[in-house]
Structure 1
Amino acid sequence: MHSKNRQLLIPALAAALVLSGCGGGGAQPPQQGAPPVTVSAPLVRDVVDWDEFVGRFEAIQSVDVRPRASGYLQGVWFKDGQYVQKGQLLFTVDARPAQAAVAQAVAQVAQAQATLANAKTEYARSEALVAQRAASQEELEQRRAAMRSASAQVAAAEANLRAQRLGLGFTRVVAPLSGRISERKVDVGNSVTADQTVLTTIVSVDPVHFVFQGSEALLLKYQRDGSGTRDGTPIKVKLSDETDYTHNGTIDFVDNALDAGAGTIRARAVISNPGGFLKAGMFGSARLEASKPYPAMLVPDTAIMADAARQIVFVVDKTNTVTARPVQTGPLQGNLRVIRSGLNKDDRVVIDGAQRARPGVKVTPQPGQIKEAAPAGGTSDAPDYTAKPAGNR
């Protein structure tokens, strides 16, 4: 009886164990894989540090055009805003009074010349009579004085004629320099006053000045380096809507004293402007070379994060575990940031997928590459980067 019961119990226990094993295996969830991230060693290349300034463009020459003759404005011979050449006719003032004055001066010259001719004749006659003892020496001296007076009157009349002709020329107002002209400020028919009425303004176009303010600390740094006050120091400028410093020039002036209130010093650069695109009054950003080229490590600026009061990058170690590495950063070079300290040249820095990485978490590193690339629209001395996954290391 007991033997029969054992024979029935053994198959039942075996079946129960099989069912129990199957149920336990289905209750365990599958283990998730380590998230993929793109890593690369820091890019090492020579860089130059720059000091940046904000400034404004100014015309090298700016002239208020005023008439040098009074009268009624008779003509305007330019279009508002056009480019004019030096000596080009801009305005005409009623010339009739000046023409009449010239005609009168011509007549006065003729009258003075006639008087001089008569005085010379009288002197010659007196000289002959004195030789014949028919006239006194006193009379001869009187004739000589009259001749000299008539000669002086001719010189005065001729000088007056030149002055009147000059006044006639002043009725034609011409451009004192080549440049861009503004709108006319006086219309035809209005009366203008010599040397007072402003008719328009002209500014020179090429080259232009870029004026900016530098701090006392920067001035001291440049002076100690021996490069802060020398003319000819290169400078690069960009406009507010530009990504690259495309306008090149040189420093041509540094003021002789600092502004006591602001603690800054005024500096000026000459910028080439052949197309006339740069206008007086425009704002721009300039940069000056602040160091000689030196080797530096660079990583994408997007790979740098803030952790409390420090900056960090994620680094993947030999066990593929993420660690947060504090770094000291330098200036931005294009889309890359200079790393002063905190990284080694062989470190694997997370350059893409940092949102999937956390300190202490294992990841699947995929090799990428930090490359230099010029921004769209022009070349640059600042690098860009491109990450290229290339399988597991």
Structure 2
Amino acid sequence: MPSKRKLVAASAISLAIVAGVAAIYQTFGGESVTSSVAAAAPPAAEVDVAAVISQSITDYQTYSGRIEAINYVQIRPLVSGTIVAVHFRDGATVNKGDLLFTIDPRPYQAEVDRAAAQLASAEARNGYASTDWARAQRLLTDNAIAKRDYDEAQNADREALSAVKAARAALETARINLGYTSVTAPVSGRVSRAELTVGNVVSIGANAPVMTTLVSMSPIYASFDVDEQTYLRFLSHDTKTTVPVRIGLANETGFSRQGVIDSVDNRLDTSSGTIRVRARFDNADGVLVPGLYARVRVGGGAPHQAVLVSDAAIQTDQEKKFVLLVDKENKVQYREVKLGEQHEGLRAISDGLQPGDRIVVNGMQRVRPNDAVKPNLVQMSGDAATTKGSS
């Protein structure tokens, strides 16, 4: 009997506890409990999502090169003498024919005058010899002159004519040397500093000094070495002049200037496996100067469709490259990709993505694969994603 009473008492206590819990649930409301549990779940992370870009592109290869002048001239004296004037500022731009230096012209002007006098004397002698030769011809017709005298008159006329030609050549040489006293620019371009100034004596010959240097500015070359595969693919055909080529300078992220292939060397360097190529670019603004470093991008082949994304959306997992893709249910998926070349600030994806795919471009650190996210649609940009509709 006591055991049965204890069992009944325990059952009564259990029922009382259940009833109390039910009363509390009814008092505060079941919806309140449910809301508390839901509130404990973390909200979906908000991330910027952009649709990949699909467009037609042309494949490019990028190389390192140097800017070179088409014309590089060392200005040396062609006559000896004393420099009496310098007519340019260091680093100035000059046109073809502009006066750069003046060498004392007085000795050469005197030589011109002397040669002119000798020519006049030779012409006078030639006039007399020509008249005497004509007279000898008339006398010979009348058989009134000895054959010996006739031959001497003829020979004197020929010698006098030769003397005139020699004197005329000497005068021309003297005039050329006088012209050399005015040192002019052989091409248009930019001069360096004056290596010799007023008062210095210059001489000609093997030890002739460099007075200054002059480089042409526009157009200008960019020289670079391409690998064998690029040469065979793009530059080995007669249509190489139509191959697009662009350059970018050290302070630029893109390729600001477009040019054309001007020449390809006649042999491959077997030690490096490359061949030297020169491209020609317009340089009307004079920004490009010989010696500057340049990034050269060479393209070719038929345009083809490609998927492009921002480099900022590409992550690295050891040796793999991947992006975070957002599916139709707004869940994050891990997607391994293979990278191609850059095109106008965007990275080509050769494998792993399809047109229409959406990828996370901002907020990758807040999500993991299979997480639900709240996507904020933005536009794909080469520098950074911008909100759709913003300027």
Task: Report TM bin, short chain.
Answer: 0.7 to 0.9
Count, aligned residues = 370
Query: How many angstroms apart in 1 are the aligned matches of 2:170 and 2:330?
Result: 99
Q: Determine whether 1:63 maps to 2:64.
A: no
Give the secondary-structure state (helix, strand or coil) at the position aligned to 1:368. Answer: strand
TM-score (norm 1): 0.83
Query: How many angstroms apart in 2 are the aligned matches of 1:38 and 1:122?
Result: 109
Give, in angstroms, the shift of residue 233 of structure 1. 2.2
Give, in angstroms, the shift of residue 146 of structure 1. 1.9
User: 5 Å matches for 1:173-184?
Assistant: 173-184=183-194
Give, in angstroms, the shift of residue 344 of structure 1. 3.6
Give, in angstroms, the shift of residue 212 of structure 1. 0.4
Give the secondary-structure state (helix, strand or coil) at the position aligned to 1:188. Answer: coil
Instruction: Identify which of 289, 292, 309 aligns with 2:319.
Output: 309
344-353 or 156-165: which moved more?
344-353
Contact 1:232-1:251 at 8 Å conserved across structures: yes
User: 5 Å matches for 1:1-393?
Assistant: 17=21, 30-123=40-133, 126=136, 135-194=145-204, 196-222=208-234, 227=237, 230-360=240-370, 362-371=371-380, 385-388=385-388
Give, in angstroms, the shift of residue 123 of structure 1. 4.1
Give, in angstroms, the shift of residue 155 of structure 1. 2.0
Query: How many angstroms apart in 1 are the aligned matches of 2:253 and 2:17?
Result: 79
Structure 1 residues 117, 70: CA separation in 2 closer, same or farther (over 3 Å shift)? same
TM-score (norm 2): 0.83
Query: 2:3 is matched with which residue?
Result: none
Once the two structures are superposed, residues 240-262 of structure 1 have per-residue CA deviations (whole angstroms, 9 ceiling, x without a partner) of 11133221110010111111211
Contact 2:332-2:373 at 8 Å conserved across structures: no
Query: How many angstroms apart in 1 are the aligned matches of 2:262 and 2:157?
Result: 60
Counterpart AA for 2:364? A
Contact 1:36-1:365 at 8 Å conserved across structures: yes
Give, in angstroms, the shift of residue 76 of structure 1. 1.1
Give, in angstroms, the shift of residue 182 of structure 1. 1.1
Once the two structures are superposed, residues 293-316 of structure 1 have per-residue CA deviations (whole angstroms, 9 ceiling, x without a partner) of 222222322222112221221223
Counterpart AA for 2:386? T
Contact 1:336-1:385 at 8 Å conserved across structures: no
Query: How many angstroms apart in 2 are the aligned matches of 1:251 and 1:45?
Result: 26
**Which is richer in helix?**
2
Give the secondary-structure state (helix, strand or coil) at the position aligned to 2:375. Answer: strand
Identity %: 37
Give, in angstroms, the shift of residue 217 of structure 1. 2.3
Structure 1 residues 132, 78: CA separation in 2 closer, same or farther (over 3 Å shift)? same
Note the residue ranges of structure 2 that are not aligned, 5 or more in a row.
1-12
Counterpart AA for 1:172? S
Query: How many angstroms apart in 1 are the aligned matches of 2:166 and 2:226?
Result: 58
Contact 1:229-1:254 at 8 Å conserved across structures: no
Query: How many angstroms apart in 2 are the aligned matches of 1:132 and 1:336?
Result: 103
Query: 1:379 is matched with which residue?
Result: none
Structure 1 residues 319, 165: CA separation in 2 closer, same or farther (over 3 Å shift)? closer
345-354 or 128-137: which moved more?
128-137
Give, in angstroms, the shift of residue 132 of structure 1. 6.4
Give, in angstroms, the shift of residue 319 of structure 1. 4.7
Give the secondary-structure state (helix, strand or coil) at the position aligned to 2:254. Answer: coil
Give, in angstroms, the shift of residue 143 of structure 1. 2.2
Note the residue ranges of structure 1 that are not aligned, 5 or more in a row.
1-8, 376-383
Contact 2:244-2:300 at 8 Å conserved across structures: no
Structure 1 residues 40, 173: CA separation in 2 closer, same or farther (over 3 Å shift)? closer
Query: How many angstroms apart in 2 are the aligned matches of 1:212 and 1:228?
Result: 19
Give, in angstroms, the shift of residue 356 of structure 1. 0.7
